[in-house]
Amino acid sequence: MSLYSNPTQSGSAAIPIVAPTSEKEIPKNVPSKYSTQDSKARTCRNLIIHGYCKYEGKGCKFNHDLNKSTSPPNSPETAKSKLSVNSPVFKPSTILSTISPEVVNAPPFIPKNQLNVVDETPITPPSAPGSPQKRLFYDSGEHEYDADISMFDPTIGFYPSQPLTSPKPFLLSSGGVKGHGLNALANSFASLVLNNKATPFSALDTLPDTTTQHTNNTSYFTNSHYANPFLYQSQQTLIPQPLQYHLYTSPLPHVSNLHPHQKTIHAFFMSDHLREELQQKNEVTLSSVNAKDFNLPEELHVYHSLYPLDLRQGKSVKIFGYPSFTYKSICNVDGRVYCLRRIEGFRLTNEIAMSTIESWRRIRHANIVSIREAFTTKAFGDHSLVFVYDYHPLSQTLFDKHFSSPIQNAVQIQGVSANIPETVLWSYIVQLASAIKTIHASNLAARMIEPTKILLTGKNRIRVNCCGIMDMLAFDGGKNIHYYQQEDLLHFGHLIISLACNSLTSIHNLPKSIELISRQYSHDLKNVILYLISKPTPDKTIDDVVTMIAPKILHEINSAHHYNDFLESELSKELENGRLVRLLCKFGFINERPEFDMDPSWSETGDRYLIKLFRDYVFHQVDEHGYPVVDMSHVLTCLNKLDTGVDERIMLMSRDEQSCLIVSYKEIKNCIDSAFRDLSRRK
Ligand SMILES: Nc1ncnc2c1ncn2[C@@H]1O[C@H](COP(=O)(O)OP(=O)(O)OP(=O)(O)O)[C@@H](O)[C@H]1O
């Protein structure tokens, strides 16, 4: 006895198989193919899915008038017409009746936890014929989906609000299978037998979850009307709402083995990661608050739009001896954004102290936050001293980065080692040594080498912050500069120990900390630290440190150059885009200006007609089937050639295809330039 049979009376492209209750009850004259009348009675699925059918009036046999729909898609009548297979040997159980042959071979697609949910679902009797899930598989092969809806775009993802689409491969009787529905069905069952030789059909009673699973799976690919509520529930809990930045980032296309001459679209633009970072920095730079809400002055000297950067409660006076506050603000002289640091309650008694800022202003170093000016103010209702520094958006202090994260706390509590990699430590050492060397060479002292006053402004990129403040707050006319310089070296050493041991308290037990460092890091690193924390002597200088770390400096220079190369190449990509945007703007200005419609000198003949045809050539090409050609590389190639005005000739064709022109890019470029000049001259 064969497990399936070819119903000879059926010439159908796709034969639905639905639970015959018994051999005797097999309907005898059920047409396996919908008659034209049936088709007319059935509402077109394109209408249901998309709200319109592009084949309406062009041969689609289904009903397009919703009001006229005599039997709704799920009505028993409609369902009845689907019960069409004549299979005398097929005795499926009630559960089997809901299983499509494709179900058994369906690829596992569903997340585990969703399967769990499904597993726990009690076996339900088969849903009414024509229920959504069934219709999904048993749909007539006559009914073709639009090509565009059968594509699954992985970049879109599925969110409850989005209509889900239905790809052809999951439909037994989709266009590709049309005419082979029966064979496909038969093959499916054949493979079912092969794969489950020892499994009698009754054993399929134990497969309800497969059935449900599959219906759920395929729900991913069905339209939203037929979506399984289970899926949606778990979708809602599983898939987080997209981040705002998903608008700017896109995954790489699923393409491997590109030919050498092929490029992905990403190759033309700045990397997503860099773009997102810059985007975030811009966003932070432009953020603002209502000054009144934060009890801030509307204007402060030449600065306005104050925005508090330090929202931490409880101001520490440990560093400066006074509470300090940090604000982002905009300067109304140059329109730039600056960082203001206010020292609260400080009354400047010695005017000469202000002159120390001059020496600091002259220092320009990549690892020092530059100071612009300092002034006193009563705008906050007290005597405050304000220092103005360059603003570095999205910066973090070394304290925030390495000593305040929950991971770091957990590490401290559990005593687990989560060391900063040695390369990062060397990078910090080299940058700090470079900053301190410049400061000491200017006969100044940083007096600020501590984790909360070193900013991390990029990946491993640090800058000494708050320079010059202590020189004003504890003004001594530079008498103790050598002492402070020695202190800088000592604090430098302490900072590296804290970072290496992952603990700020490690400097209180130096022998143990050094032992730990010697176990975890190289000998060279330990030697530098030992030198930095050695007893101050007149011979102990930053120059010695620089000599000691010379090989690491070379490495740092190399890394910096590499990164510079990377940034430069990213920049060059956007440079091209800027050039092309200018060209596109010119196009936009010139083409189809309504106000010149009646103006013969601006008519769409001659030069301007050429431009219009070129626009069609670049953007509006269609393939042999009349489908739009959306080829970005064609656009970029054309625009680049146009911009450089190459001699290459192209053939432009009128829209009615009655005339064509052969012109060079150079000629088109001249036309565009002259048209744009004309436009600019017109008043
Ligand atoms: N020049 C700057 N540009 C951009 N952001 C800055 C600048 N200086 C400081 N910040 C930011 O302002 C915030 C507060 O800085 P601050 O120096 O007050 O740190 P803190 O850890 O709060 O120290 P304290 O306890 O002394 O107040 C930090 O998150 C820091 O990233």
Please list, residue by residue across 43-80, b when 16 or more beta carbons sit within 10 angstroms of its beta carbon and e when fewer do. Answer: bbbbbebbeebeeeeeebbbbbeeeebebebbeeebbe
The CA distance from 232 to 100, in Å, is 22
* Comparison of pLDDT for 209 and 333, the residue scoring more: 333
285 is in an annotated binding site: no
Instruction: Identify the pLDDT of residue 405.
Output: 65
pLDDT band at 131 (very low <50, low <70, confident <90, very high): very low
Mean pLDDT of the chain: 71
The CA distance from 577 to 270, in Å, is 10
Both tokens of 454, joined, read 């070193």
| Positive or negative: CA dihedral 485, 486, 489, 492 | negative
The CA distance from 164 to 337, in Å, is 46
453 is in an annotated binding site: yes
Instruction: Identify the pLDDT of residue 488.
Output: 97
Amino acid found at 524: D
pLDDT band at 411 (very low <50, low <70, confident <90, very high): low
Which protein residue's CA is at the shortest distance from atom 31 of ligand 1?
A: 396
Q: Is 312 in the pocket of ligand 1 (CB under 6 A)?
A: yes
The CA distance from 271 to 251, in Å, is 11
pLDDT at residue 38 above 70? Answer: no
Compute the average pLDDT of residues 53-62.
77
The total of other beta-carbon atoms located within 10 Å of residue 539's CB is: 7
* Comparison of pLDDT for 643 and 200, the residue scoring more: 643
**pLDDT tens across 555-597, in order?**
999 999 999 999 998 888 787 777 888 889 888 888 877 777 6
The CA distance from 143 to 140, in Å, is 6
Contact yes or no for 394/526 (Cβ under 8 A): no
SS3 258: coil
Q: Ligand 1 mean position to 309 CA, how many Å?
A: 7
pLDDT at residue 513 above 90? Answer: yes
What is each CA distance from 204 to 103, 136, 167, 199, 349, in whole angstroms? 12, 21, 27, 8, 92
Both tokens of 119, joined, read 């597993």
pLDDT band at 194 (very low <50, low <70, confident <90, very high): very low
Contact yes or no for 416/495 (Cβ under 8 A): no
Both tokens of 252, joined, read 């790489």
**pLDDT tens across 660-674, in order?**
889 999 999 999 998
Instruction: Identify the pLDDT of residue 168.
Output: 33
The total of other beta-carbon atoms located within 10 Å of residue 165's CB is: 22
**pLDDT tens across 246-262, in order?**
455 555 566 667 777 77
Compute the average pLDDT of residues 343-348.
90
DSSP 16-27: -----S-STT--
Both tokens of 553, joined, read 């400096």
Q: Ligand 1 mean position to 452 CA, how many Å?
A: 7
Both tokens of 579, joined, read 């050039």
Least confident interval from 112-121, 197-206, 431-440, 523-532: 197-206
Give the CATH fold of the 287-548 domain: Transferase(Phosphotransferase); domain 1 (1.10.510)
Q: Is 252 exposed, middle or buried (0-12, 13-18, 19+ CB in 10 A)?
A: exposed
pLDDT at residue 633 above 80? Answer: yes
Compute the average pLDDT of residues 300-313.
89
Q: Is 417 in the pocket of ligand 1 (CB under 6 A)?
A: no
Compute the average pLDDT of residues 517-529.
95
Q: Ligand 1 mean position to 311 CA, how many Å?
A: 9
Both tokens of 674, joined, read 């002259």
Both tokens of 490, joined, read 């000592």
Instruction: Identify the pLDDT of residue 101.
Output: 42
Both tokens of 32, joined, read 């396996």
Both tokens of 266, joined, read 């990403």
How many whole angstroms from its chain centre is CA 628? 28
Closest CA to 315 of 289, 295, 341: 341
Give me the torsion for CA of 421, 424, 425, 431, rounded to 10°.
Answer: 180
* Comparison of pLDDT for 282 and 606, the residue scoring more: 282
Both tokens of 184, joined, read 């496909």
Compute the average pLDDT of residues 82-89.
37
Q: What letter would DSSP give residue 107?
A: P
pLDDT at residue 30 above 50? Answer: no
Contact yes or no for 460/562 (Cβ under 8 A): no
Q: Which strands make up the sheet holding 337-343, listed edge to edge?
A: 299-300, 303-308, 324-331, 337-343, 384-390, 371-377
pLDDT band at 100 (very low <50, low <70, confident <90, very high): very low
pLDDT at residue 226 above 80? Answer: no
Both tokens of 442, joined, read 């200017």
How many whole angstroms from its chain centre is CA 498? 35
Give the CATH fold of the 574-681 domain: Helix Hairpins (1.10.287)
Region label for 51, one of left (φ > 0), alpha (ψ between -120 and 50) or beta (otherwise): left
pLDDT at residue 213 above 80? Answer: no
DSSP 505-555: GGGGSHHHHHHHHHHHS-HHHHHHHHHHTSPP-TT--HHHHHHHTHHHHHH
pLDDT at residue 204 above 70? Answer: no
Both tokens of 177, joined, read 């299978």
Percent above pLDDT 90 for the chain: 38
Atom of ligand 1 nearest to the CA of 452: 21
Domain boundaries along the sequence of the chain: 36-238, 244-252+267-286, 287-548, 574-681
523 is in an annotated binding site: no
The CA distance from 57 to 588, in Å, is 37
**pLDDT tens across 424-436, in order?**
999 999 999 999 9
DSSP 177-201: GTT-HHHHHHHHHHHHHHHTTT--G
**pLDDT tens across 366-403, in order?**
999 999 999 999 999 999 999 999 999 999 999 999 99
**What's the angle, vertex CA 526, arms to CA 525 and CA 527, rounded to 5?**
90
Which protein residue's CA is at the shortest distance from atom 29 of ligand 1?
A: 396
Percent above pLDDT 70 for the chain: 61
pLDDT at residue 540 above 60? Answer: yes
The CA distance from 150 to 165, in Å, is 6
The CA distance from 429 to 489, in Å, is 11
Q: Is 565 in the pocket of ligand 1 (CB under 6 A)?
A: no
164 is in an annotated binding site: no
Q: Is 389 in the pocket of ligand 1 (CB under 6 A)?
A: yes
